Amino acid sequence: MTIRLLIVDDDPLVRAGLTLMLGGAEDIEIVGEGTDGRDVPALVDRLVPDVVLMDIRMPHVDGLTATERLRARPGGPEVVVLTTFHADEQVLRALRAGAAGFVLKDTPPAEILAAVRRVAAGDPVLSPAVTRQLMSHVAAQRPAGDPERNRRAAAAARLAELAEREREVALAVGRGASNAEIAAALYMSLPTVKTHVSRILAKLGLDNRVQIALLVHDAGLSEQEDGI
């Protein structure tokens, strides 16, 4: 399968570098470039990419707003945000909006290529270590008190909608486990794990497994039943 990729970044040197790095792969087709988030809807309609590699900071419409608008549309492409920070509240906003993950601009070319391929295949870009780092960042930024308790109660209530096996899979996703790791730990086949993840997303109205991880963390369950 050829992956149709749209690159959106206001820096021409970054766009040129990404095009040079990614365009040589046999399974990647750079279908176009954008310079601002305001260009994204028209570009997506015209070029029909599978994945959008989206910068966060752009002059008119930032990548966060563009991601929110794009993921609100049915059948839209997956989005990977580009950032210069490991743990940035803006990255978290993008993930909650439905971005499939993020990569750093100084990430080695081979890893950026692998990230695009993984997202196109339906897997998250975030590694378990990065997922845990983001979870810690969220926790550190939240004030104590009633708002935190309310958030936790609301997240726990949503997870209570899941069947027992689905909940086990959700908790494993929340700890950053891959599908293969979940399958081994819970004695499931890989297709069964993927089916459970799809059902969890549908039941909870989420876009991707990163959002499952955020919800598990909101419920205060990311450190429970840690056997994976």
Q: Is residue 44 part of a domain?
A: yes
Average pLDDT, the chain: 82
Choose between 136 and 23: higher pLDDT: 23
Same domain? For 10 and 121 the reply is yes
**Are the CB atoms for 2 and 28 separated by under 8 Å?**
yes
Task: Please tell me the predicted confidence (pLDDT) of residue 6.
Answer: 96
Q: What Å distances lie between residue 61 and 5, 37, 77, 87, 203, CA to CA?
A: 20, 5, 18, 22, 32
Task: Please tell me the predicted confidence (pLDDT) of residue 222.
Answer: 64
Same domain? For 100 and 193 the reply is no
| Alpha-carbon dihedral sign for residues 117, 39, 107, 87 | negative
Q: Is residue 113 part of a domain?
A: yes
Same domain? For 111 and 202 the reply is no
Task: Please tell me the predicted confidence (pLDDT) of residue 136.
Answer: 59
Same domain? For 8 and 117 the reply is yes
Same domain? For 206 and 101 the reply is no
Task: Please tell me the predicted confidence (pLDDT) of residue 138.
Answer: 57
Which residue range(s) make up the domain with 157? Answer: 143-218
Same domain? For 31 and 100 the reply is yes
Choose between 10 and 105: higher pLDDT: 10
Q: In the beta sheet, which residues pair with residue 83?
A: 104
List pLDDT tens digits, range 135-186.
555 555 555 555 556 777 888 888 889 999 999 999 998 877 878 889 999 9
Return all residues near 200 (Cβ < 8 A) that are at least 6 apart. 162, 166, 169, 170, 173, 206, 212
Q: Is residue 148 part of a domain?
A: yes
pLDDT > 70 in the chain, percent? 82
Q: What is the 3-state secondary structure (H, E, C) of the chain?
A: CCEEEEEECCCHHHHHHHHHHHHCCCCEEEEEEECCHHHHHHHHHHHCCCEEEEECCCCCCCHHHHHHHHHCCCCCCEEEEEECCCCCHHHHHHHHHCCCEEEECCCCHHHHHHHHHHHHCCCCCCCHHHHHHHHHHHHHHCCCCHHHHHHHHHHHHHHCCCCHHHHHHHHHHHCCCCHHHHHHHHCCCHHHHHHHHHHHHHHHCCCCHHHHHHHHHHCCCCCCCCCC
Give the whole-angstrom CA distance, residue 219 versus residue 216: 5
List pLDDT tens digits, range 79-104.
988 877 655 566 677 777 778 877 87
Backbone angles phi, psi at 97, to 5 degrees: -75, -10
- Is the confidence at residue 128, as pLDDT, over 90? no
- Is the confidence at residue 225, as pLDDT, over 50? no
Q: Is residue 138 part of a domain?
A: no
Task: Please tell me the predicted confidence (pLDDT) of residue 118.
Answer: 83
Q: How many domains does the chain have?
A: 2
**Residue 33: CATH number of its domain:** 3.40.50.2300
- Is the confidence at residue 4, as pLDDT, over 90? yes
Task: Please tell me the predicted confidence (pLDDT) of residue 226.
Answer: 45
Among 19, 14, 10, 80, CA closest to 52:
80
Looking at 69-78, 195-204, 218-227, which range is the least confident one? 218-227
Task: Please tell me the predicted confidence (pLDDT) of residue 123.
Answer: 72
